[in-house]
Amino acid sequence: MKTNRIIILLAGLLILTSCASTKYIYQEGFDDIKNVGIVTPFTDIEIIQAADSIVYDSEATAEFADLITESLMASALPTGKYMLMDLGNESLRYAILSLRDVYPKYAGETRVPGELDKFLEEHGQRYGVFTFANGYLTNSKHYRKELFLSILTTVVTHALSLGMLTVENYIPEKNSFQMWIAVVDSQTDRFVFFNSCSRNGSDPTNEKHVKRAIDKLVKDFKNKK
């Protein structure tokens, strides 16, 4: 079961290979968008301790959420107030998780989950930015072991085949994360901005790595503060 979770996580990281490549922007009235409230990011960070062991890291998860919030406040988004979301609310969690299923090409035709609209309305906010992000950190000892085995496989294969065969050397990524960002208009029940990315080799607890990802995700949001 744990191995399957790791496979699914790594497969997801391979699907999205860069930031700002899947964006959707609603053009009509776009320049008039102001005061985009920042909603508590929904984050999930796990540590891969070994090939068959993966555990949830609450401290890294909380730190990741804080870094996302700080980066959004300093980004090109015309951000307004911060709104605390109760991530213990299952319906809200499910609504944010559904951002992973939004296909950017059809984001303009996709209705925003009602729970997200309702949340903004309850806070007297027309626009809000919702974020879901997950990723992993690799235990240093495990990472060194995987790196060693990867290199050893290449060397041994090359030697035993007298140089006739070579194996492409796979160097596992030590850290990585994925992120989905959506700016929602609660009056029209539509997305006005949507983007997603994967940052292979980036540390979700590193301020510079997270800020770089956020900046690339929202760089096309022309409306400055």
- Of 133, 139, 135, the C-alpha closest to 53 is 139
pLDDT of residue 14: 44
Within 13 A of 80's CA, how many CA atoms are on the CB side?
15
Asked whether residue 9 carries a pLDDT value surpassing 80, the answer given is: no
Around Cβ 215, how many Cβ atoms within 10 Å? Answer: 15
Q: Mind listing the pLDDT tens digit for each residue in 201-216?
A: 889 999 999 999 999 9
Q: Which pLDDT tens digit goes with each residue over 136-193? A: 888 655 555 555 555 556 655 656 666 555 555 544 557 889 999 999 999 989 999 9
Three-state SS string over 6-54 comes to HHHHHHHHHHCCCCCCCCEECCCCHHHCCCEEEECCEEEEEEEEECCEE
pTM: 0.76
What average pLDDT does the chain have? 79
Per-residue pLDDT tens over the stretch 103-143: 888 888 888 999 999 999 999 999 999 999 999 888 655 55
When computed from its CA atoms, the radius of gyration of the chain, rounded to whole angstroms, is: 20
Q: Where are the domains of the chain?
A: 2-218
C-alpha distances (whole Å) from 19 to each of 25, 145, 180, 202, 218 are: 15, 30, 10, 12, 9
Q: Hey, what are 25's tokens?
A: 């922007």
Measure the CA–CA gap between 84 and 40, rounded to whole angstroms: 5
Task: Quote the pLDDT of residue 61.
Answer: 95
